[in-house]
Amino acid sequence: MDSPEQTPPATGLSEQEAVSRLQAEGPNELPSSRARSIAAITWGILTEPMILLLAGAAIVYLLLGELRDSLILLASVLVVVGISLYQERKTERALEALRDLT
């Protein structure tokens, strides 16, 4: 691949070089992928090791009779899951918007 110094900025790539690169490397676009459902995103978040660890700790608190601590920890986990779900959906929409531009 040419470095920026090898491609003249005023003229850009020659037609032959552009066709050659298109055939060799394919189009310059984001890879398309199906949008994940909310359930799939939520499952991905719930199976993250830190979430599982915190949920396990909440269960241990519950088994030890610390209902208040268990509920506080579970509420915190739900807040983290909610924020993560929001961020994932926002990211998916941004990527879809970028794909639509090309």
**How many independent structural domains does the chain possess?**
1
Q: Are 36 and 92 in contact (CB under 8 A)?
A: yes
Residue 25 belongs to a domain: no
**Token pair for residue 44?**
């991905």
Give percent above pLDDT 90 in the chain: 51
Give the Cα separation of 44 and 93 in Å (integer).
17
Residue 72 belongs to a domain: yes
40-82 pLDDT per residue, tens? 999 999 999 999 999 999 999 999 999 999 999 999 999 999 9
Give the residue numbers spanning the domain of 82.
33-101
Residue 76 belongs to a domain: yes
Spatial neighbors of 77 by CB under 8 A, at least 6 apart, are: 51, 54, 55, 58
Residue 10 belongs to a domain: no
Q: Are 70 and 23 in contact (CB under 8 A)?
A: no
pLDDT given for residue 99 in this prediction: 78
Residue 18 belongs to a domain: no
Give me the amino acid identity at 76: S
